[in-house]
């Protein structure tokens, strides 16, 4: 009987552990209510380019992150916000609120302004993210009243404390067959300023492209450890650190409503709404590479015709048009404008008479990058519509996490960004 119990106890522990893991929620960028629009989280700045900047800041940065969103409503509501510390896999960490915040973890979201003379009325909310005192992954969660079970939105952000030096570079892929269609990211980690216990098992490297999470490379193992240099080298030859290069993003210019911006075929201002048609797009697969500047799938709110971009910009019902034969599965409009396909309206519908796929998105005036793609098992496949070119300008970020022996959370002890505006090859 004793032997049987000894054999059974590990099985029970494993079962309980598995149940606990399954119960852990993985936090994502989500919007839970249709009336919540144009959610942005970026370092505070009046510069237009800040809107496209990744929500990543240093631990003691004097520049805070700012959350902005619109509520399509006539009257303001009572909203609250909470900060959640997460592990590297975006599940809730073992830290208590008091471990990473100096005040009570529930904040009033009460800074707002009403839109001015817009056809669709909205209320623009602004919330400055409180300072935290631990590095790692975080979620800002906004909910109605004081009831966390009624969420409006969740947004990811990262806080780093550079205790290791990251060197990263975009290089031609190791595999010859990928040389014309892919980009390889090699990384060196110098840990001379931070002792790493069992780095093979206690560290995690994450690389993401253009602020996307669906195709992020997670969990690469270093192929060389130089103890004399205190360096971990991720210079792999099996293609595991390689991204499809893709193509420069398409764009629509919605900075105007009284005239047509670039790639806008028509625009109509009605009494209570603004309607627009984007130009007819076609597949770029098999075409040569054309270099031009883009904003790597992001968007920025901007209004050329009025002074106050946040409060005087109109909302536009913009219809996208993709000319192609009917496909076994529908394409999606992808980019930050559709939360990378999570917006249900991003799925396109085939219009038989015109031979086009169409999707209509509700967008605030500004500049929007996008691409077309098909849903795959794990991420999005843009290649059938966009092609792949090794020359494409992309933005890459490298995150290096470490969990110390006995620690209850993953520290983000290294971060670097490969700026596409400064790096071409």
Closest residue by Cα to residue 53 from 38, 37, 65? 65
Domain boundary among 104, 133, 160: 160
pLDDT band at 14 (very low <50, low <70, confident <90, very high): very low
Whether residue 208 is found in the same domain as residue 129: no
| Cβ–Cβ under 8 Å, residues 394 and 246 | yes
Is residue 21 assigned to a domain? Answer: no
- CB count in 10 Å sphere of residue 383: 16
CATH number of the domain within which 396 lies: 2.60.40
For residue 333, what pLDDT is reported?
98
pLDDT tens for residues 191-200?
Answer: 999 999 999 9
DSSP code of 353? T
Q: Are 256 and 380 contained in the same domain?
A: yes
Residue 8 lies in a domain: no
Cα separation, 135 vs 152, in Å, equals 25
Signed CA dihedral, 97, 101, 103, 108: sign only? negative
Examine the domain organization and report whether 369 and 401 are in the same domain. no
Give the range among 7-21, 46-60, 331-345 with minimum mean pLDDT: 7-21
DSSP 118-171: -SS--EEEEEEPPP-SS-EEEEEEEEETT-TTSEEEEEEEEEE---SEEEEEEE
71 and 95 in a single domain? The answer is: yes
Q: How confident is the model at residue 201 (pLDDT cuts 50, 70, 90)?
A: very high
Q: Which long-range contacts (CB under 8 A, 24 or more apart) does 261-266 make?
A: 265/321
Within 10 angstroms of residue 71's Cβ, the number of other Cβ atoms is: 20
Report how many domains make up the chain. Answer: 3
In this structure, how many other beta carbons lie within 10 angstroms of the beta carbon of residue 401?
Answer: 24
Structure confidence by residue, pLDDT tens digits, 126-167: 999 999 999 999 999 999 999 999 999 999 999 999 999 999
Interatomic CA distance for residues 384 and 331, integer angstroms: 10
Q: Which two tokens stand for residue 108?
A: 């009033």
Do 307 and 363 fall within a single domain?
yes
Residue 47 has pLDDT above 70, yes or no: yes
Same domain assignment for residues 381 and 407: no
Same domain? 206 vs 306: no
Residue 33 resides in a domain = yes
- 222 within some domain: yes
Tell me how far the alpha carbon of residue 112 is from its chain's centroid.
25
Residue 21 pLDDT greater than 90, yes or no: no
Residue 424 has pLDDT above 50, yes or no: no
Q: Residue 402: which domain range?
A: 165-245+391-418
Beta carbons of 125 and 138 less than 8 angstroms apart: no
Judge if 229 and 264 occupy the same domain: no
Same domain? For 146 and 236 the reply is: no
Task: Give the integer Cα–Cα distance in Å for 291 and 391.
Answer: 8
Interval 300-306 mean pLDDT: 95
- 9 in a structural domain: no
User: 94 and 35 share a domain?
Assistant: yes
| 18 falls within a domain | no
**Predicted pLDDT at 23:** 61
Q: Give per-residue pLDDT as tens, 260-295.
A: 999 999 999 999 999 999 999 999 999 999 988 899
Task: Give the span between the Cα atoms of 241 and 358, in whole angstroms.
Answer: 35
pLDDT higher than 50, residue 16:
no
Q: Are 396 and 301 within one domain? A: no
**Residue 225, in any domain of the structure:** yes
Measured between alpha carbons, how far is 158 from 85 in angstroms, rounded to an integer?
Answer: 10
Whether residue 174 is found in the same domain as residue 257? no
């Amino acid at each position: 009987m004793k032997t049987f119990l000894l054999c059974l106890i590990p099985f029970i522990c494993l079962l309980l552990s598995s149940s606990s893991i399954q119960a852990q929620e993985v936090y994502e960028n989500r919007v839970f209510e249709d009336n919540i629009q144009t959610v942005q989280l970026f370092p505070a700045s009046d510069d237009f380019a800040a809107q496209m900047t990744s929500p990543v800041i240093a631990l003691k940065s004097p520049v805070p992150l700012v959350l902005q969103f619109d509520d399509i409503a006539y009257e303001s509501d009572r909203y609250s916000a909470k900060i959640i510390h997460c592990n590297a896999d975006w599940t809730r960490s073992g830290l208590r609120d008091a471990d990473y915040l100096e005040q009570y973890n529930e904040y009033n979201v009460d800074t707002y302004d009403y839109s001015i003379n817009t056809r669709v009325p909205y209320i623009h909310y602004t919330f400055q993210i409180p300072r935290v005192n631990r590095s790692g992954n975080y979620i800002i969660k906004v909910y109605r009243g004081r009831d966390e079970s009624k969420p409006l939105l969740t947004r990811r952000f990262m806080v780093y404390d550079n205790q290791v030096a990251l060197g990263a570079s975009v290089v031609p892929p190791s595999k010859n067959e990928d040389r014309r269609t892919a980009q390889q990211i090699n990384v060196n980690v110098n840990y001379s300023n931070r002792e790493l216990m069992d780095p093979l098992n206690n560290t995690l490297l994450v690389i993401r492209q253009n602020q996307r999470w669906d195709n992020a490379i997670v969990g690469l193992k270093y192929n060389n450890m130089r103890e004399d240099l205190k360096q971990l080298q991720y210079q792999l030859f099996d293609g595991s650190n390689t991204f499809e290069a893709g193509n420069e993003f398409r764009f629509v210019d919605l900075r105007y409503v009284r005239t047509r911006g670039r790639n806008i075929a028509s625009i109509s201002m009605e009494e209570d709404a603004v309607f627009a048609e984007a130009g007819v797009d076609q597949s770029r697969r098999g075409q040569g590479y054309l270099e031009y500047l883009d904003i790597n799938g992001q968007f920025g709110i901007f209004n050329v015709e009025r002074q106050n971009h946040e409060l005087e910009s109109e909302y536009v019902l913009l219809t996208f048009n993709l000319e192609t034969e009917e496909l076994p599965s529908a394409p999606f409009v992808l980019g930050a404008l559709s939360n990378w396909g999570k917006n249900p309206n991003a799925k396109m519908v085939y219009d038989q008479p015109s031979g086009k796929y169409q999707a209509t998105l509700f967008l605030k005036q500004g500049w929007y990058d996008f691409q077309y793609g098909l849903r795959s098992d794990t991420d999005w496949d843009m290649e059938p519509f966009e092609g792949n070119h090794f020359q494409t300008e992309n933005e890459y970020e490298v995150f290096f996490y470490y969990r110390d022996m006995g620690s209850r959370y993953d520290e983000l002890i290294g971060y670097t960004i490969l700026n596409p505006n400064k790096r071409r090859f």
